[in-house]
Amino acid sequence: MAILPILETPDPVLRQISIPVETVTDELRTLIDDMFETMYAAPGIGLAAVQVGVPKRLLVIDLQEPEEEEGEPVRKPLVFINPEILEASDTLQPYLEGCLSVPEHYADVERPDRIRARWLDADGKAREEEITGMLAVVLQHEMDHLQGILFIDHLSRLKRDMILRKLAKARKEQPRKAA
C-alpha cells in the first residue's frame, strides 16, 4: 500500500467529471487500499479517486466513530463504486464540512438528511440502501467530487472567494516557511 498525494484546489483535475468504473480489477482494489491508507494518514473520513488524480467514479469512506466516548475510533471502511443517488429527502440539514482538497477550511453546507443510494462494493456486488446522518452527508460530499464539485461551490460567492484567497496566500507563504 502507498500514501498518494492529495490534489488541492485550484488543481484542474478536481474539476473533471469522473468516468464510470467498468470492472472491479486487482488494480482497482490496489487503488482502493491506497486510498484508504491516504485518507487515514491525512486524516480524513472520505476520499474520492479524483482527489488522488484518478478521475474514476470511486470513493472510500470511514467515519471512524469511537465505540465509546474516549475509546479508539472503530474503523468501518466502506467502498462506493459508481455510486448514484436514487432519491433524496426534501429535508435539508446543515453540516460543518471540510475537505482534504481544501485544507484547513470549514463551512456549513445544507444537504438532504436522508438519501437512497445504489453502488457497487469492493467485490463488485450491487448494493442499494437508505442512508441517513453523517454517512449521508459524507457520501453526498464525496459524490460531488465525482462531478467536479467542491464543497465550497455550495457557499456564497463571498465565502468561497475568501477561502480561495486564504488558500492562495497560504501557498505563497509555504516556501518561505521551509527556507
With a pLDDT cut of 90, the percent of the chain lying above it is 87
CA distance 168 to 96: 22
Cell of 114: 436522508
- CB–CB of 70/85 below 8 Å? no
Cell of 147: 462531478
State which amino acid sits at residue 53.
G
Per residue in 56-70, pLDDT tens? 999 999 998 776 677
The pTM assigned to this predicted structure is 0.92
Query: Is there a catalytic annotation at residue 97?
Result: no
Name 133's Cβ contacts closer than 8 Å, sequence gap at least 6. 113
Catalytic residue among 68, 87, 142, 173: 142
Domain spanning 12-174 has what CATH number?
A: 3.90.45.10
Per residue in 92-144, pLDDT tens? 999 999 999 999 999 999 999 999 999 999 999 999 999 999 999 999 999 99
Q: Strand (E) positions, the chain? A: 46-48, 58-61, 78-88, 92-99, 102-112, 114-120, 126-132
Within 10 angstroms of residue 75's Cβ, the number of other Cβ atoms is 11
Sign of the alpha-carbon dihedral angle for 37, 13, 50, 165: positive
Q: Is the model's pLDDT at 178 over the cut of 60?
A: no
pLDDT confidence of residue 177: 47
- CB–CB of 113/83 below 8 Å? no
